[in-house]
A and B are shown apart, each in its own frame.
Chain A
């Protein structure tokens, strides 16, 4: 057997060369991809997507990195394979025809084979070598080599040969993915992780509460740092995508720019005349408080500024939202048509949280919006820890990209905060609470700002109305009996006005009475004064008379004395 020796950098101080898989998230969490020239074991139970992962590795290699590949299938036949991966948009047959890919189906039927004496697997080596050399392949996928254990009796020979095969692959210098079925208590059913130990990826498909989530974990990666967590990944018509959460740091750039909520009254309540760009906004409220309408208004305002918006709808279909928002005067269809607005709708129960997150992350990456609306986050049902983790990451993704994100959340009628709200409250920069007030046979809507970081915001409760021109803020009546809204507010205002009139009248009456009293008293004083004067004049008259009499008397005495005086 001709062997091509190619040195592999292990002992040198150089960084381990890596081969990108073209699966963005995976390349990010392995810091570049799989180890070049070494085999990587990818294990997982049935239905984890091992084959699709392998095929994606090869197809991306051929299409994007100019590296040809060999897919050696031990399970699926060539034609089945190409049909199966066609659902991911891979035209395998074309790649084969172009000489960029070789697919070899190795089929062993135990019942057809008689064993007589010693043998080895040189035939497999010959086939693989021929396939690799025929297209100059740099990438090899062996899927699932453990199938050989079902076809051949002598496991001792098989193990020795597999060990030799993996060493041979290394010597050959191809970057290989070897898939294996998950076994009990070990990574693979036949323990081949013993032989392939440079890089081990574990795929998992877990069902929690009837919802399946696929996860990937890098178990080991010799000579390289790697993300150690379990990462959700997604297989759909767009291919495979892994969501790395390692980026969830707190180092995102911030903005001082304010962007309008689309409701002038609400902007006025926010200290900076809008939200900070890149902030997260939570809109919580009961059913029918207009959460979606606020979201749509925000989107409408952003689209009018010419910004791209992504609307994740988990409760209504896009058509329904467009129709309903038409009733409050928002023409969302126009924005959809202009390409500024994109709806992504899915039932929350369709995937697990991780899956939703992975999908949303991918949509955000592709569409590159500046505004994202998630309506509503409360649609996610499940363990609060998972909801929390999912939302943290979603909020973080948005923040790291400078996207202003608005999340709506349906509150329960009884409890103050729903599970989802409690868990995300600390993540949100602005929290707007919407509620209904039921009184006097009608329902009115009020909102207030529960919090808004970094701005001096209004602390008032405000009434708002959903009119056919959109959301309209109204000054709420705040009086001694609390906040009054709607008709009650109008009634109270009328009542206030009437009470004012009555008070005014009472004051006027008192004033008139006082004037009257003053006049009466003044009159009385005048009368008394005149009486006093009369008395005074009488007294002085009497005094005069008295003096006169005295004088007369004295005169008389004097005269009489004179008369007699002659005789005095």
Chain B
């Protein structure tokens, strides 16, 4: 795009050497000395039960055991947007695997053996495992005390129900819109729960020292927000933010699962229970699956009206979400979807109801895509179907209705720049859309699809970023930020932004991993927003430092400030072509003036960024008003899919994804998000398959039976396409891209399967078995047995969406 020297290039990742040599330290790699204690959690075997008694006496007698802890020691709740989650289950348990007690011991084996001796007496209650049951007027309540929970002002829980939040968006008049339509199509789509499966499990280490200071080492996407949640949770015990420090080294993948607080709370309270001793808990893979947070399941009903010429006249989109036992984070997923479930289309008449429902299953929370992957499955499937119903090419239909800059969004604000038309065209070309292809293999057929996507970061209106930069004697730079390097390349991008402003090369810039005592604030590394938000903060900090450099030179040497500039780590002056002063000569020690005195000193810069144009003041009944989403990133994706009719097995011959990132700070890293995100998206629709039994127990909490792709399961070819229509308020024009690349995958598979075989599958996952059986005329849901991937026992068509009016 514009003429940048570092932005837009792809220097080597600055964390690359650490990671390739084994030097990179993750939380579990840190050493805490021989006094480190370990904890084992005692978990509920019931999805819903009263706790009658907890007897820890036998456990406490075991050799090596230091202490046992239950809710009576920490009868507290916590949560990000709502305080509905219990540190230890108090009075009742709400999901299989919920923490009831902890045993702390000098070694992990002793803790594990002793935990088996904790005796808990339960009185089982009817579990709420079915969305329709959960919404009945006389349903058993997962949270009888819902009305007493603190929550952010833009959530609307319904007391005495299982509704944690209900986001309503109303624009125009859908009845009128449907009346104007020539064709109306309505149908139901279901999406089950999913697990993040970061290869590094959650880990927390805590140390509550003799002076009462709590330090936590967390594998985390949000050290500052974790500090905030924990400070708020523990304030009844006298702790405030000043007393808590959160440190995060490298993180082995997050995908949303390490945002907010789940098991990290144990590091805090158990460390407090053993003051003066460090303590560590590393989650097992099974616990990763059932006791962190999952991606919510959703029951989606889409009703769309279109004219013969393809214009969308109305959309009614109803989403009932299975949020599990705690919705303190997941309710925002429901909120985000509720504002944006039109998809990237111009829709004049909109009715969206997005309802967050408590169930007695694992808690849910942030997951890459944050509700958008979930609703795009149904919506993009529906769009292809309705286009075909009116005899229109589904790609042409999308071109006609795709949202563009300046269009009005469902909640009344205006759409930001983003070249959806170019994205569609590039993808269509890459898969030779319109050209039918045949397979060499007699049993295989080939189908194609183009699906669109969009997403905005889902954040509170005052989520902010801050940055400090400081120079060193050799002219190198430290950037102290609290965004998290999850693998996306965040550190490198921040370095490039600082490099662009200060002309220090990227390999002379360090970006420090977060430490809430030392690094500047970052709300969370979520939402695909840190390139934009923290990038702006880093840019501002670099500009601040540059300002100080210029002022120092001016004060010391008298050159006019407006003539001073930086180039190649030197200060230069337009009116003094012979002059050049290397940064390293003065960024610590100042510049000597003619009389031998010095001006300047250590050059440090600080910068913040907080969007001052967003607000969450939309009308609770319509969501009109306010500007809840900062901007959308848009794009399109395409697929050429080969399907074996007999086996149902699928092979992705080619996939392409074009995304408008405004300005790719580092194109190779953007491509990394495209290739990696697409595969993760394809995995959710082609392989991953959560199964609970009829008692709410997760049956496949491991990689043996929850299949994430191996190197053998990748598309034959993945084509990443970067488009750049600058984001006016982004650093050098950048917008986010981390989550978006997953979003179109599910509908691509469902639509391509229909294109290949004529079979329409409306329930995820779209696995080989489902396809093969459908091809034989067998309904998969009737033969899969009574394990549920999804929180509704009957046929999707029977789901009573009208239960809520």
- Our verdict on whether A and B bind, yes or no, reads no
- Chain A positions near chain B (C-beta within 8 angstroms): none
